[in-house]
Amino acid sequence: MNLKDELTVLKGIGPVKAEAFAKIGIKSLEDLIFTFPVRYEDRRNAVAVNRLVPGEPAVFRGMVVRTSKGPYRGKRGSLLKVTVSDGTGAVEIVFFKGGYLDKTFVRGRCFDFFGTPVSGKTGIQVIHPEFAVQGELMTGIVPVYHVSGALTQKDMRNSQKAVREFYKDASDSVTPEIEERYNLCSLEHELEGLHFPSSRRHYGEARYRAVFDEVLVLQTGLLLARTCSGNGEKGVALAKGRHEIEYTDKLPYTLTKAQKRCIDEICRDLEKESSISRLVQGDVGSGKTVVAEAAIYKTVACGYQAVLMAPTEILARQHFEGFKRNFGEFGIKVGFLSGSVKKSERTEILEELKNGEIQILIGTHALIQPDVEFCRLGLVVTDEQHRFGVSQRIKLKEKGENPNLLLMTATPIPRTLAVIFYGEFEVSVIDELPPGRIKVETKCVRGRRDECYSFVKNMIDRGQQAYVVTPLIDESDGLDVRSAGEVYSELKEKFPSVTIDIVHGGMKQAEKDAAMECFARGETDILVATVVIEVGINVPNATVMVIENAERFGLAQLHQLRGRVGRGSNKSYCFLITESESETALKRCETIERTNDGFYIAEEDLRLRGPGEIFGTSQHGLPDMHITAMTKHTDILEKAKNEALNILNEDPQLSEIRHAVIKSRVAELFGTDFKLNL
Ligand code: ADP
Ligand code: MG
């Protein structure tokens, strides 16, 4: 067997399972080896049933003494309750939608369980525990992997065990010299320690090396990207003068001090001979768009074109509508491009872009396509920057002759991380909200869903609008989570006189647009949605945000969602519905209830959950866990950065054999199709 082999060479993996693995990006044995657990469960201690404590995960065993079936969500016989006893006491195990398991849990049979007890009405219960016949449950320190679709933890763990013998063949991006210089453990020891740690210490050594490795690859890639992104080199320089004032003077409101300062910082930068890159950070609702507009105006007024890329079609369209209104007044032509623009229309837009007729182009990542050519591109703006990858940004920039770059993000980035990912950027911070904003009142709702929806109805009767956000599109088996479809039907039945609509990622673009437009025009009262509405959407008349299964969202996400209301002059409300008893969920809800401060929330998020939320993993492909470790071991950042510099000094093209592995990993992380000179 070879590490490049497909998974089907493993015992127990046929084409169907292999397909399921492929769906989460695992195709070869090597992919499997480098797919690390997202967390671990400490199952070293088994507990007697009478010692189970609510909230504390535990392994326990017992014999089935009784089972009973009941209805669940209107389906008869769908709920299964199993009472098990170990002589010290009895505990009730609950499976929603688990009626079929009555064939497994036969009276008198013994099982091992792992789960988190909760206190139920009739005593301690354990909902949906992991179970196996006695002796077969995985114990010790157990890795938990990300799985989805047809994949189970068991599939993952079994295959991980099967590839264990190949660790010694895995290719290593850390050279022996580096390993020695920084006293790192071997790759084999690292892999063992991440998948099957024998102790906390083993895990610690493994993770240190893993993080070093990740940062080394990342830094090498970023340094390469930097040298070819032309930052700081001669680029587009705009004429001196306060052109942007012509634009800002016409605004229907007064800019905040922070906005004025940022606009000034950016516009003076644009006049410099060298190409500039600037990150604009501002909390949800702080008014980043108008800051970008001012910079774009100056660019256009000085004879260049500007482009703005947004992460979702809905957001891009919203910007387009706004820009058409605002720039139309000045006779400036704005174009729009996304995957859903018709071919004939697209051809025309591309033509007008090339001959300079279109001065501002707005769109989604469809803007990156090679046939999108500008005539004089002077400024590239990305909105909600954390949603894009480095290579997307660079590709857009390559469409001009070293144009300026402006990145906007509502996600406050802790300093340590900012240094790694945005080291080359200047930063402007909008640390002030427009005046007159009333704080969104936030409430965590438990067991009082009906009251919450009566409140929603009340607000609608007053002419205001509401969002209801759910984590899923469709009902999904085995998960006790509300789906958009389910909530939509439920609300329609409950409030027949209210206009309700739905929008989710599974809908066609035209349908999504139509739904959003109706809502923006006030024709829809309640919009049921998935997180497609998370970023940037601006409908000031919407004053209520209801989030179902709030425990399924991260803090930063909850904050973003709440930011969709409180945008007009009416008092707004945000309700977090959850039945979860998990401590993290409770903490999160409490934090959101208590504060509106995005920077504070980001720090809490980092503490509670790791930086995945703060820093979309899509951007860099790093596991959350590693980034968390980076923020703790800042020495790794320094060391790995120095090593990356060393490597590129000695071997600028990474053409030496000893750098072959790191080269291929950089290429994998950043994509090979932009000019990394690889
Ligand atoms: P975000 O920073 O979240 O992208 P937006 O740019 O969408 O925020 O701005 C949110 C809303 O605030 C918009 O309706 C915008 O017109 C309005 N706005 C921006 N700046 C000001 C200001 N200085 N005074 C009043 N309203 C403003
Ligand atoms: Mg915005």
Q: How far apart are CA 481 and CA 474, in angstroms?
A: 10
Residue 221 CA, ligand 1 centroid: distance in Å: 36
- Do residues 573 and 443 lie in contact, with contact meaning Cβ atoms separated by under 8 Å? yes
* Residue 541 CB–ligand 1 contact under 6 Å: no
Within 10 Å of residue 322's Cβ, how many Cβ atoms? Answer: 16
Q: How far apart are CA 8 and CA 16, in angstroms?
A: 9
Listed in sequence order, the residues at least 6 apart from 607 whose beta carbon sits closer than 8 Å to its beta carbon are: none
For β-strands 526-529 and 465-469, DSSP reports them as parallel
- Do residues 360 and 330 lie in contact, with contact meaning Cβ atoms separated by under 8 Å? no
Residue 638 CA, ligand 1 centroid: distance in Å: 38
Q: How far apart are CA 235 and CA 378, in angstroms?
A: 9
Q: How far apart are CA 515 and CA 59, in angstroms?
A: 48
Side by side, which strands form the sheet with 360-363?
Answer: 334-337, 360-363, 305-309, 377-382, 404-409, 277-282, 426-430
Which tokens sit at 158?
């079994």
Q: How far apart are CA 202 and CA 633, in angstroms?
A: 17
Q: Three-class SS string for 183-246?
A: CCCCHHHHHHHHHCCCCHHHHHHHHHHHHHHHHHHHHHHHHHHHHHHCCCCECCCCCCCCCHHH
Furthest CA-CA distance within the chain: 86
Backbone angles phi, psi at 255, to 5 degrees: -70, 150
Counting from 1 in the atom list of ligand 1, the atom nearest the Cα of 282 is 2
Model pLDDT, residue 435: 87
Side by side, which strands form the sheet with 465-469?
Answer: 441-445, 573-577, 542-547, 465-469, 526-529, 500-503
> Please, where are the H alpha helices in 237-308?
244-248, 257-270, 288-301
* Residue 318 CB–ligand 1 contact under 6 Å: no
Q: How far apart are CA 357 and CA 333, in angstroms?
A: 7
Q: Which residue has the tokens 């535990």?
A: 58
Mean pLDDT by 10 residues, the chain (678 residues): 88 90 90 88 86 90 93 83 94 90 93 90 88 83 85 90 92 91 94 91 89 85 71 82 95 95 95 89 88 98 96 88 95 95 95 97 94 96 77 83 89 62 76 86 91 95 95 61 87 95 86 86 94 76 94 84 88 93 82 85 65 39 54 75 89 89 82 46
What pTM did the predictor assign?
Answer: 0.65
* Residue 290 CB–ligand 1 contact under 6 Å: yes
* Residue 312 CB–ligand 1 contact under 6 Å: no
CB-count exposure of residue 108 (10 Å: 0-12, 13-18, 19+): exposed
Which tokens sit at 380?
């590239």
